A = this chain, B = another copy of it.
Amino acid sequence: MPQSKSANISACSTCNLAELCLPVGLSAQEMQRLDELNMQKHSFSRGDYLYRSGDRFRALFAINRGAFKTRILHEDGREQVTGFQMAGEIIGLDAISTDRHDGEAVALESSVVCELPFQKLETLSRDIPSLQRHLHKIMSREIVRDQGIMLLLGSMRSEERVAAFLLTLSQRYAMRGLSPTQFQLCMSRQDIGSYLGLKLETVSRAFSHFQDEGIIAVKTRSIEIIDLALLQASINSSC
């Protein structure tokens, strides 16, 4: 069990999604597990699973460095990336990790997209009311985010989706004090496609097209947004 320590929760300027800072309090066995993971560092590559106790995540993690993706796995092998989590954000909401949805087993998993280091924050303990309240915010935001993606998946066409994707990335970087117009993608075209409900070729074509239009400059994983306004516009114009 995690060593109980006084929770130290405060709005955190560097964590955008989080707003939730706790001293890192790892139990002995969790420390050991972390070590194991670090030991096997080389076996960790894109697509590998992160950390599961049993068949569900039991804790919240604040991502220190690197980026992760969350995805849903259908039993028939279909998978969908449901989000990308970057440094300063939260991953692994306990309650939603594994659950039955409409009678079908839906496994929610996290896999490494980029690098791996992370910090265990705190197990989702029922008895820290202020943590709970923050959790509400996080979950609410998760829902709002999901609903946004639903809008995207349900009613946008390919280039609009890619534009929207780039813009949200841009904003997330901006929130973290990084350049909103020049950044590295930390996920493959494949993953972007899965996230946006598109095939990787379509994503690539969208990038190329935006580049031809002079809206962005792409060099594989490096993105520079040249005309942010045009990118914005390309979401609404074509509909």
Residues of chain A touching chain B, judged by Cβ–Cβ distance below 8 Å, are 72, 74, 76, 78, 80, 82, 93, 95-96, 99, 101-103, 106, 108, 126, 129, 132-133, 135-137, 139-151, 153-155, 164, 167-168, 171, 194-197, 236, 239
Contact = CB atoms under 8 A, between A and B. Distances in A.
Contacts of A108: 144, 147
19 contacts: A72-B147, A72-B148, A74-B151, A76-B236, A76-B239, A78-B239, A96-B140, A96-B143, A101-B145, A102-B148, A106-B148, A139-B140, A143-B143, A146-B146, A146-B150, A149-B150, A153-B154, A154-B196, A155-B197
B154 A194 contact: yes
Nearest to A102: B168
Contacts of A145: 101-102
Contacts of A103: 171
Contacts of A146: 143, 146-147, 150
A80 B149 CA distance: 11
Contacts of A154: 80, 153, 194-197
B151 A72 contact: yes
A172 to B, nearest CB: 8
Nearest to A74: B151
A9 B154 CA distance: 37
Contact of A143 (B102, B126, B142): B142
A93 B133 CA distance: 14
A197 B154 CA distance: 4
B148 A150 contact: no
Contacts of A106: 144, 147-148, 151
A28 to B, nearest CB: 28
A143 to B, nearest CB: 5
B80 A150 contact: yes
A200 to B, nearest CB: 13
A82 B147 CA distance: 7
A28 B213 CA distance: 59
Contact of A140 (B78, B95, B133): B95
